[in-house]
Amino acid sequence: MKYVSLMGTQMLAVLNPILALVENGKRPEKVILLPTGKTLPLAGRLENYLREGFKDLAVEIHPVSMSLETDRQGNPPAPEKIAEFSDDAEGICFNAAGGMNFQIAACAERLFAVDSHFIYPESGGIHLFRLHRGELKAQETFPLPGPVDVLRLQGIEHKILSDRQMHPFLQKSLKECGISSPKNAVFNLRVGDVFFDLAWNRGNEMKFLLVIPPLRRPGRAPVNLLKETRKVINLSLNRSRFSELYHRDITVITEIDDVAERLMTEGGGKADCLLMDPHTRNSPFGCLKMQRLFEGVIGSAGEGGTVPETAGSGGKGDGSVLYAALGTEIMPSLTALWSHRPDRVCFLYTPGDPQIERYKSAFLAEMKILPASTVSFQPVGITGKEILEMPPPSGPGGVVNITPGTKGQALFLTHWARLHSMKIHSILAPARMLPEIPKGDTIPLRIPPPVAYLKATGTRVIDYGEDKGSLMKREAEMAALLKLFRGMADAGEDISGFPKKAMDLGGVRSKPLKDRNRDRRVSIWAQGWETPAECILDEKDEWFERLVGFVLVQCGADDVQIRIRTLWSPEAEARLQKKYPGNRPFKTDIDVAARFEENYYIISCKSGKKSRVGDTAAEADAQARIFGRFTIPMVCFLRHKSEPNNQSNGIYVFGYKTLADPPAVKELLQNALRERRKTL
């Protein structure tokens, strides 16, 4: 039997199935790796590792195209290369966890008619399936292989701090709950600017654990909980900072409710939280939670049931049905739904996952905003094998999208669709389309407006702010401010004089006005105008947020929302209201959210004295995560006098000179989009 795997950026997803086969008496005759140009160096690194550990194991590397077409270097698409091996009597064991979902689906589609083995690793075990024409012939589950030096193999930049003691809470909890430290665990590990108390290889993934608040080191300033929490969120959502280590599991242990909720709502499902308040910590339940943290759990369909179709309002009425997974990362599911716009949609979900259950509840509660007439939910496990038991849709018009969900779900959804002669589509975000696999129709990519996104994800919002239509009612006022800033930039006038200083810049003049309401007012007149425009500059920066939003409208934004304020959970809100009676505290204040076709932008706006750029950029980055990891965060400081600059984390900062030049802003938006794609 030959082990064949696409070589993605997830090293462990390719290595661990090989180790499991060897350790369970199913050693492959040959290992065939199919890297793209980007992952060819990783394939070479893995080849060297295998040759050192298994002297007589044959390893071959065959480069393939990143797409389903032959590339410029003449490398064939992966399905064509798979076809060269599938006729061999030795048979194929295809790894369903290497590469992108669309590549896996295309290869699985090519192997549909032959008797093939598929191996799929996940956090609880390594699953081996034998499939033929959509029928599951046999299944085995292997225990996770022993740990390997993942940090070295993956090339993750890290540092072990030998002078740093284990957090007392973690040390005490492990002892009281009778938990031994995982084999070959690493203590006090720093990755980026996050200090982990413990890290270990759980077989198919790296497990990273830290306690918030962390230990305060002698001579250091008190811990800023918001900053520490957002450091973890930003690291957990950024694959490049982990050297593309996708199968990683970050868990934060805390006794602080606010920290737990922020991780849940802003972490995008990439960072778990174990809330251990004093009552829980000293109870048997607390020990049980700690023990589960150090165990692997094999995902299954659980106890969730099929949710019958629920009526909505946005379907085509043509009988079309979309089947797609509902995963912990919600954006692919929403993109599939908004792009296909079916009459009916059936979401495949894994019951019991808190994030997925939250999304399911939100979909049912907000049916009126979904572009489908009915929505239903079908329970399946993480591996996706239950998909083969689903009945086919009645009548024609069935289509599946294999991008959302796990790679195992993509594999079985492909076989199920092939069995029932249904179309298979995938999401190719950079190409802005949803092509049919292997070839066929192409659907344009669409995403929901920001407000619909927040509703569909169950985000609690106290105020959606002002929209595009509201901004355009202030067009004269906004245009006058831009005219003034453009004149100041051209004349070299220092922005620090605005708005208190009267200015005469030739073609444009301004003077401050008195206001009894403490708001600042400024009168602006430009050559050719019959009367000056009067602009109100409130003290809360709302005028500046409107101005930034107005410029985005001029740049062609499809949707703009100004000043969105999100709420805490009902439990956290009740607790905070007891602490601060008379107020309804909001959780996050998003200055400007915009959608340009299939991209979201979040812009943090500051008109006053320039604050620390790094902190403001981190704030914008964290707010952007609410809309998914592909959202582009930016910062606009009115008093930023130089050209736009790119912070180390790929976030652009710009000021009044750029803002007053909409074509320059449009170019900056494109640059920020390209930069964001490099860091994710």
Q: Is the Cβ–Cβ distance between 535 and 446 less than 8 Å?
A: no
Identify the pLDDT of residue 246: 44
344 HSE (CA, 13 A, CB side):
18
Percent of the chain with pLDDT over 70: 86
Torsion on CA atoms 371, 372, 375, 377, rounded to nearest 10 = -70
Furthest C-alpha separation in the chain: 88
Distance of CA 641 to the CA centre of its chain: 33
Buried b / exposed e across 553-568, counting CB within 10 Å, b at 16+? bbbebbbbbbbbbbbb
Long-range CB contacts (< 8 A, 24+ apart) of 508-517? 508/483, 508/484, 510/484
Share of the chain above pLDDT 90, in %: 41
Best-predicted range by mean pLDDT (131-145, 217-231, 308-322): 131-145
- Alpha-carbon distance of 401 to 417, in angstroms, equals 10
Q: What is the mean pLDDT of the chain?
A: 84
Looking at per-residue pLDDT, the higher value among 646 and 286 belongs to 646
Using pLDDT thresholds of 50, 70 and 90, give the confidence band for residue 299: very low
- From the CB of residue 585, how many other CB atoms can be counted at a distance below 10 Å? 14
Does the pLDDT at position 297 exceed 50? no
270 alpha-carbon distance from chain centroid:
8
Q: Are 446 and 459 in contact (CB under 8 A)?
A: no
pLDDT tens-digit series, residues 53-92: 888 899 999 999 998 899 999 999 999 998 888 766 568 9
Dist CA 340 CA 446 (whole Å):
9
Task: Report pTM.
Answer: 0.80
Strand, coil or helix: 196: strand
Mean pLDDT across the stretch 153-165?
A: 72
Question: How far, in Å, CA of 161 to CA of 497, rounded?
Answer: 49
Task: Determine the pLDDT at residue 23.
Answer: 86
Query: What is the pLDDT confidence band of residue 360, given thresholds at 50, 70 and 90?
Result: very high
Q: Name the amino acid, one letter, at 28.
A: P
b/e 68-97 (16+ beta carbons within 10 angstroms → b): beeeeeebbbbbbbbeebbeeeeebbbbbb
CA distance 533 to 513: 12
pLDDT of 577 reads 79
- Kindly state the average pLDDT of the residues 636-652: 83
| 260-285 average pLDDT score | 72
Q: Taking 90 as the threshold, does the pLDDT of residue 550 lie above it? A: yes
The answer to whether the CB of 388 falls within 8 A of the CB of 362 is no
CB atoms within 10 A of CB 146: 11
Tens-digit pLDDT profile for residues 85-111: 876 656 899 999 988 899 999 999 888
Q: What is the pLDDT of residue 272?
A: 81
660 neighbors 489 (Cβ within 8 angstroms): yes
- The answer on pLDDT for 518 being more than 80 is no
> Where on the phi/psi map is residue 411: left (φ > 0), alpha (ψ -120 to 50), or beta?
alpha
Contact 137, 130 (CB under 8 A): yes
Name, of 336-350, 481-495, 516-530, the range with top average pLDDT.
Answer: 336-350
The residues near 386 (Cβ < 8 Å, ≥ 6 apart) are 301, 379, 380, 412
Q: Which range, of 233-247, 336-350, 355-369, 655-669, averages the lowest pLDDT?
A: 233-247
What does the angle CA 137 – CA 25 – CA 8 come to, to the nearest 5 degrees?
A: 75
- On whether the CB atoms of residues 412 and 385 are closer than 8 A, the answer is yes
Structure tokens at 237: 């959502």
Pairing of strands 520-526, 206-212: unpaired
* 174-188, 324-338, 403-417: least confidently modelled range: 174-188
More confident residue, 547 or 158: 547
